[in-house]
Structure 1
Amino acid sequence: MGIEMKRQIDVTFLGPEKVAKIHEASLTLLETVGMRVGGERGIRVLRDAGCEVDVDGMVKIPRVLVEEALETVPKELVLYNRAGEKAMVINTENAVHFGTHADQLEFVDPDTGKVRPFLKADTKTMCTLADALPNIDFILSVGMSKDVAPEIQTQISFIETVKHFSKTINFSTNDIDSLQEVIDIAAVVAGGKEALAEKPFIFNYCEPIPPLSHPEESTEKLIISALNRIPVVYMPYCMMGGTAPMSFSGALVQCNAEALGGLVVHQRTCPGAPFIYGAMPSIMDMISSIGSYGAVEFHLMVAAASELVSHYGLPFYGTAGCTDAKGLDIQAVSEVTQEIFSTLLSKANLVHDVGVSDHCNSVNPELVVLCDEIIENLKHYVRGVDVDDIDEMVEIITRIGPGGAYLTEKHTMKNFRTIHYPKFFSRKMKNPETSEVRAKIRESMHAILATHKVPALDEAVLAELDAWTRTLEARPNINPMSDAS
C-alpha cells in the first residue's frame, strides 16, 4: 500500500491578492461579456435564473448567481469503490489521489514496447495494473477502442472497465445519449440508481469549449450528471496563444469564468449536486502547433488554478504524470517527475492522465508503473518535517553523546522503515555499469499482469452486463469491427 497522503508543505503559487483579482475579473467577464451557451435545457436553466440571453445564445451571468452556486455546491466529496466502500474523501485537508486511463487512442504494447491502436482487450490490461498499483486510485474510461464500433465505444469501454477494475471509475462519453446509459450500467453494479447516488463509485468528466463556449453537449452532460447526482468534473482545456490569451493571468481568468459558468448551470439544475472543478490551461507550442502536455508552464498554471479553487473550497481535478514524448525516454521521465512534484506541492485533489504519452494520443502501462513509484517517493517528501518528537530526540542525542552511533539504538530499529526504500532505483554499494531500472519496471509490470486478480463481480451482475453488451452490439447500424493490427 502507498503511504497515507498528507501534504504538510505550504507552497503559494498566487496568494490571496492575486486570487481575489482573478476571481473579480472572472465575474466581470461573466456579467459583461457572457458565455455562448447551447442546448435548450441549458439556456432555459440560465434564463429562468434571471440571466440575459440574446438571439445568438450569448448569456450574461450575474455574479449573484455565481455566489449562490458557490454556496450550494458541496465542499466535501466522498467517492466509493465498486464494492460500495469509502475510497476517497476530498475536503479542505488537502488529500490527493492519482488516476490513469483504461483506454486511449493508442497503446504502448507491454510485450513489444511498440505503439499500436488501442484494442478492447487492452482495457483489462490497464485495469489490472491500475487495480494493483497502490498509488493509482481511479481509472478514466474514455471509449476509444479501435475494434469497437464508434457508436457504442463509450458504453462497451465502461462495461469492460467495471468488470476488470475494483476502485473508483472516472468516465467520459462520446455523446449525450451514452452518458445516461453509462449511469444506468453503473446502477446495475451499485444495486440501483439511488444506491449509486448515495455511494457513487463513478464520476463523470466533461468540458466547455474555450474560449467562452458551452455547447449543448457540455450543458446536457452537466444537467444529466446533476439530475442523477453523479459527481461531474467540468474542465476547460485551453491553449495560451490559441484558445486563451498568451498570458498566465488571462488564461486563468478565462478558465475560471468558464468553469464558474458551468457551475451555475449545474447548481441551478440541482442545488447541492456534487461538482468537481478542473482546469487545463496549457500552451500552444508555436513550433509544432500542438497543445503541450509536458510544458512546465502548463503545470505551473494547473498548480495556480488549484490554489484559486481552494479559495472556493471545491474539489480540484488536475493533471500530472503525462508527457509529450512518445516512448519511455529521458524526456518522459523528466516531464512526469516535474509534474507529479508540482502537483503534490499544489492543492489538487484528483489528478488524471498518469502514463499518458504523445500529447494524449497514447497510454503507456510501463510509464504508469514508473509513475506509481515516483508518486510514492514524492509523497514522502511532501509529508514535511514533524517536530512533535523533538524532546525525545534531545534525550537520545544527549545519551549517545559526541562520537557515538545510532545504528543499534532501539529508536533506530523501531523507525528505520519510515524511510522510503525505492523499488526501482539503486543505492547499491557498487553500482553495475549499466542501468537496471528499465528491466525492474518491466519485471514488475509483467508480474502484476500475471498474478494480480481483480475481485470478481457477482454472477448476476456479470450476466446483466453481458446482456447490456449484447443489446448494444445488436443495435441497428452497428457494424462488427475487426481487430486492428
Structure 2
Amino acid sequence: MKKYNIERNIKFAVLSDEAIEQINEASLTIMEQLGMKISGERTLKLLHENGCYTDENGITRISRDLVRKALETVPKEVIIYDRNKNPHMILNSKNNLYFGTHADQLEILDIETDSVRPFLKKDTELMCKIAQNLKNIDFVLSVGLSSDVDPKVQSVISFIETLKYFEKPINFSTNDIDTIQEIIDIAALVAGGKEVLQEKPFIFNYCEPIPPLTHPAESTEKLYLSAINKIPVVYMPYCMMGGTAPMNMATTLAQCYSEILTGIVVTQLINPGAPFIIGAMPSIFDMKTSIGSYAAPEFHLMIAAASEMADYYNLPFYGTAACSDSKSLDAQAFAEVSMQVFSTFLSKANVVHDVGIMDHCNSVSPVMVVIADEIIEAAKHYARGIKVDDATLNLDLISRVGHGGHYLNEKETFKKFKQVWYPSLFSRRMKNPDQSEVHSIAKEWINKIMENHPGSTLDAAILEKLDEIQQKYMDSVK
C-alpha cells in the first residue's frame, strides 16, 4: 500500500455549523417541495415503489425520510485499490487527500513546442507514465477524448490504453450508457474476475446530473450500473452561478446538494451499501466571456464549502484543483494552480481531480502536471502546521548555544534538517541562472520517464487479450 504522508493540521472553515445546517435544510426543502426532473424507467420505478410521486410535468419529489434512510446505508468510507490489488486511496471524512490528472483530453500542450494540438491516442501512454511516476498523483481520469479515435469507441479505447500503462486507480467516464458495463467487464478481466473487482475496485466511475435539478436517463443509468456492479461512483453537478445555478453562493450550494442527495438516494435504492463519492463543481458563468471558469476564486471557495458539507454527511468529497483558465504555461497558470492547491489543503476535500488541466478544461499540460506535483509537495509541508508542546519548545537548546552562537553543529539540526522541504524543480541556488530552468527540468524529467519505462507492465496474456478487444472495437467503426 502507498504510504499516506499528508497531514492537514491547519484550522480553516468557510461555513459555520449553523450555515451547514441551513444549507442541508434548504437542500431537503428543494427535494421535497420543488422536486427533481428524473428520467430512466427503472430508476423512476424504484422511486415510486418507495413513496415518491411524479406529477404530470415529470417532476419527482423526494422526502427527507428517504434521504435519511439513504444516508444510513451509504458507506462512510470507500477504499480504492491499485491494479495490483493494493489499497491505494482511503476516502472518508478523515481528511485524507489524493490528487489526480487526466489520461486523455481534447487537446494537449505539446512538451516540445509548448503549443496546443489535438490529443492523440498515443498521448495516453505519455500522460499515464507521467502520473505513474509522480508521488503526489494518485489516479488518472480516462474520459475518452482522443481525436484520432472514432467517438463511438473512444471511451473503451482510452480506458484500455490507460489500463496498459497505469497501475494506480482509474477514474473513468463514458460517452454513452452501454459502454459502462463494457468497461467494468474489461476491468474485471484484468482484476481476475468480477467478484475480485467488486472486493478490491481499482476503478471508479464519474457522472453528472444536469443542473438545475435535472437527472437525465444517461445519468441515472450510469448510477444504476455503478451501483449494481458495486463500483464506486462520483456524482458531480457542475453548477455555474448565473447560468445553471443562482447568482448566490449559499443558494447554489443548496441546489448542488439537493442534486447530490438525489444521487445518493438513487444509488441506495438500487443497491443499499453501494459506494458513493460526493462531488461538486459550483463555479461561475463568466459574463464577460461566457465560459464556466475553472480558476475563479469563487469556484474554489465554494469547493471548500462543499467539502465541509460532505464532511457533515461523513462522506468522501471529490474536488477540483491545480488547473487554469489560461491556455499556456504563463504567470496566470502558475498563480491559479498554486492558489487552488493551497485552498484544497485548507479544505476537507479527499480526492481531487483536474491537475494540469488548462483553458477551462479544453486541454491538459504534461509539464504543468509535473510542476503541480512540486507545488503539492510544498503545500504538504505547510499543511502539517506547527506542533507546540513541552517536547517542541526546547529552551535548553537556546541556552546551550547562547548569544551570538549558531545551531549548525547541534544534534537537533542534524536530526531534523531533512524535515524541511527541499524543492526538486524550483531553485534556491546561492547564485541563480539568468533564465528560469523550471520548464526545461520538467521536460527533461518527462523524457527520461519515457525512455526508462518502455511498454506496458501488464501480464503478457492479459495485454494480448486487451489488444484483441481493442482491435475488435476499432474494426467495428471502420
Deviation at 1:104, TM superposition (A): 0.5
Between 1:405-414 and 1:362-371, the stretch displaced more is 405-414
TM-score by length of 2: 0.97
Q: Is the 8 A contact 1:188 1:464 kept in 2?
A: no
Partner of 1:202: 203
User: In structure 2, the residue corresponding to 1:460 is in which secondary structure?
Assistant: helix
Give secondary structure in 2 for the equivalent of 1:390. coil
Aligned-pair CA distance for 1:432: 2.5
Q: Could you say if the C-alpha distance between residues 146 and 122 of structure 1 is closer, same or farther in structure 2, counting changes exceeding 3 Å?
A: same
Alignment of 1:401-480 (within 5 A): 401-452=402-453, 456-475=457-476, 478-479=477-478
2:315 maps to what in 1?
A: 314
Q: Please list the CA deviations of residues 333-373 of structure 1 after superposition, one character each: whole Å capped at 9, or x if unmatched.
A: 00011011001100000000000001100011011001000
1:439, CA displacement in angstroms? 2.1
Q: Is the 8 A contact 1:2 1:134 kept in 2?
A: no
In the TM superposition, residue 51 of structure 1 has moved relative to its aligned partner by: 0.6
Q: Distance in 1 between matches of 2:43 and 2:455?
A: 40
Matched, 1:8 2:38: no
Paired with 2:106 and 2:389, the residues of 1 have a C-alpha distance of 50
Report how far residue 303 of structure 1 moved.
0.5
**1: distance between equivalents of 2:436 and 2:114?**
18
Which amino acid is 1:252 matched to?
Answer: L
CA distance in 1 between counterparts of 2:442 and 2:112 reads 13
Stretch deviating more after TM superposition (136-145 or 427-436): 427-436
Does the 8 Å contact 1:3/1:379 carry over to 2? no
Give the alignment's TM-score, normalised by structure 1. 0.96
Q: Distance in 2 between matches of 1:65 and 1:178?
A: 30
Q: Bigger CA drift: 43-52 or 175-184?
A: 43-52
1:402: how far off?
A: 2.5
Q: Which amino acid aligns with 2:119?
A: F
Distance, in Å, in 1 between the alignment partners of 2:76 and 2:4 is 25
CA distance in 1, matches of 2:279, 2:96: 16
The alignment-based identity, stated in percent, is 57
Query: Which residue of structure 1 aligns with residue 371 of structure 2?
Result: 370
Q: CA deviation at 1:438?
A: 2.2
- What SS class does the counterpart of residue 371 from structure 2 fall into? helix
Q: Does 1:323 align with 2:324?
A: yes
State how far apart, in whole Å, the 1-side matches of 2:430 and 2:364 are. Answer: 35
AA partner of residue 319 (structure 2): G
Matches within 5 A, 1:38-117: 38-117=39-118
Aligned to 2:150: 149
Q: Aligned to 2:206, what secondary structure does the other structure show?
A: strand
Cα displacement (A) at 1:49: 1.2
Partner of residue 293, structure 1: 294
Counterpart residue number, 1:341: 342
Match of 1:208, as an amino acid?
Answer: P
Which stretch has the larger CA shift, 241-250 or 385-394? Answer: 385-394
* Structure 2 residue 259 is matched with structure 1 residue 258: yes
How far the C-alpha of 1:454 sits from its partner, in A, is 7.4
Report the more deviating stretch, 379-388 or 293-302: 379-388
Residues 283, 415 of structure 1: alpha-carbon distance in 2 compared, 3 angstrom cutoff? same
Deviations 1:131-185 (A, max 9, x none): 0011000000000111111111000000000000010100100000000000000
More displaced stretch, 428-437 vs 216-225: 428-437
Shift of 1:389: 6.0
Q: Which deviates more, 329-338 or 442-451?
A: 442-451
Indicate conservation of the 8 Å contact 1:166/1:455, yes or no. no
- For residues 73-127 of structure 1, give each alpha carbon's deviation from its aligned partner in whole angstroms, at most 9, with x where no partner exists: 0011111000001111122320000000000011111122221111100000000
Deviation at 1:69, TM superposition (A): 0.8
Query: Any idea what the Cα deviations from partners look like across 1:387-411, whole Å, max 9, x if unmatched?
Result: 3563672332232233221101111
Counterpart AA for 2:373: D
1:229 corresponds in structure 2 to: 230
Poorly superposed stretches of 4+, deviation over 6 Å: none
Change (3 A) 1:353 1:435: same
SS in 1 for 2:218: helix
Aligned residues of 2:323 and 2:336 also touching (Cα < 8 A): yes
Find the aligned partners of 1:95 and 1:322 in 2 and give their Cα distance: 20
CA contact (8 A) 1:166 1:454 kept: no
2:250 aligned residue: 249
Partner of 1:396: 397
Shift of the 96–391 alpha-carbon distance from structure 1 to 2, 3 Å rule, reads closer
Give distance in 2, aligned partners of 1:251 and 1:200: 33
Give 1:428 shift.
Answer: 1.7
Check whether the contact 1:3–1:376 (CA below 8 A) recurs between aligned residues.
no
Partner amino acid, structure 2, of 1:211: P
Structure 2: distance between partners of 1:453 and 1:344: 34
What SS does the aligned partner of 1:23 have?
A: helix
Please name the residue that 1:217 is paired with.
Answer: 218
Read off the aligned partner of 1:131 and give its amino acid letter: Q
**Number of residue pairs matched by the alignment:** 477
Aligned-residue offset at 1:48 = 1.1
- Shift of residue 40, structure 1, vs aligned partner: 0.3
1:183 equivalent in alignment to 2:188: no
Q: Is the 8 A contact 1:131 1:454 kept in 2?
A: no
CA distance in 2, matches of 1:307, 1:223: 27
Question: Is the deviation greater in 55-64 or in 339-348?
Answer: 55-64
SS in 2 for 1:351: strand
For 2:32, the equivalent position in structure 1 comes to 31
